[in-house]
Structure 1
Amino acid sequence: LNWSPHRATRAAQKLPHNHEKIISDSFLHEAYVFRDHGIPAELHVNTDQTQCVYQQGSKTTWMKAGAHQVATIGSEEKQAFTIVPSISTSGEVLPWQAVYHGETDRLCPRSNCRGWAEAKKEGFRLIPSKTSMYWSNLQTMKDLVNKIIHLYFSHKQEELGLDKDQQAIWCIDCWSVHKSEEFLTWMKQTYPEITVIFIPGGCT
């Protein structure tokens, strides 16, 4: 079979027992929105978020034969930040948002870092979470929409000669803050032209 031993890289994810129906329903829902609102590929954006570890640890290292206590870096607390990338169906990569733990900008990359000026020029957002965690929260999500998602959609509406109330689709994960009533209410009130569609949980 041409197999070889491999260390696990992630926990196995169990698919919902009715995952095929869930995915089919999600596809039909999205197709319905596309059809009824005449949404072009440029106005269909998918956003994800992922942990980015500064120094990836390992459970394997070199030690004297017979050693019983072996320490490795990164096995316990991780030093990381969250990257929030977005891409449109037309293939355009939007500026990224990076979320760092902490209350102030002092915990974000400094202006003298290599590539900082280019990132700012391209519209990248390097922001503190204002909490002890580096995951996205309500405030960072609002920043993402205000400074990246909405600006991109507005630019494309103008570029394509579309009305400002032209509907757009924004696909995001079933993350707790994404599904929160506060965030969804804010989206409906602030950007009614953006239809939020969730990627089915546990199906990716």
Structure 2
Amino acid sequence: LDWSERHATHAAQKIPENWEELCEHLFFRLAYTIRKEDIPSTLYINSDQTQVVYAQGCQLTWAKTGAKQISTVGNDKKRAFTIMVSISNDGTMLPLQAIYQGYSKGSCPSQSAPNYENCISAGFQFEYLNTKTYWSTHMTMHSLIDNIIAPYFEQKKQELGLPQMQKTIWQIDVWSMHRSEEFWSWMKIHHPTIGLHYVPGGCT
């Protein structure tokens, strides 16, 4: 049959050719903001979302030798959810936000699940999207900021004896939703002390 064992293929994001220049510009923007606003390490947070797959599909299959596109069972239709991970520059891990596909609380972990109460006590947020996807939306981003990011900043300001108008830094990727006018406007109105800085595309 002229078949051979092959790895599944997928589209890969390429690192920009000028990635060093882009990262250097990010570094100088951050350095300027930290110096100008006198921002301590604990008030600088980086967040990113990652896909968590319930059961990893096999990455190997038999296919025609020389074929360019290879599909495997469980590779195209994943069963997964999104975790938003946030950590401050001083190494403090913030509570996780888990985002699930579905239309009710039944899409989220059951209250009887092992360690559910421990997660809630630690401040974890379990949310369903009321859609067929599990990626972050404006709604879940608002929830992340209102329930995790902003409360952390306010607590640390109190601990450090800083004024409530003390500026902070929140670094996220350049996903289109993060850079949308809707998101910018909402942030300026509800969280004016949180400054947004973006990791250059393809450099996360």
TM-score by length of 2: 0.88
Name the counterpart of 1:101.
Answer: 101
- Judge conservation of contact 2:8–2:59 (CA < 8 Å) in 1: no
- Judge conservation of contact 2:95–2:148 (CA < 8 Å) in 1: yes
Name the counterpart of 2:172.
Answer: 172
Higher mean C-alpha displacement, 18-27 vs 153-162: 18-27
**SS at 1:131 equivalent:** coil
Name the counterpart of 1:143.
Answer: 143
Map 1:1-204 → 2, pairs under 5 A:
11-60=11-60, 73-204=73-204
Identify unmatched segments of 5+ residues in structure 1: 1-5, 63-70
Identify unmatched segments of 5+ residues in structure 2: 1-5, 63-70
Would you say how many aligned residue pairs link Structure 1 and Structure 2?
A: 191
Q: Deviations over 1:139-169 (max 9, x none)?
A: 0000000000001000000011100110000
| Identity within the alignment, % | 45
Paired with 1:10 and 1:43, the residues of 2 have a C-alpha distance of 37
Q: Deviations over 1:42-83 (max 9, x none)?
A: 100000100000001013369xxxxxxxx9641321100000
What is the CA-CA distance between 1:179 and the residue it aligns to?
1.1
**RMSD of aligned Cα (Å):** 2.0
**Structure (1/2) with the larger strand percentage:** 2
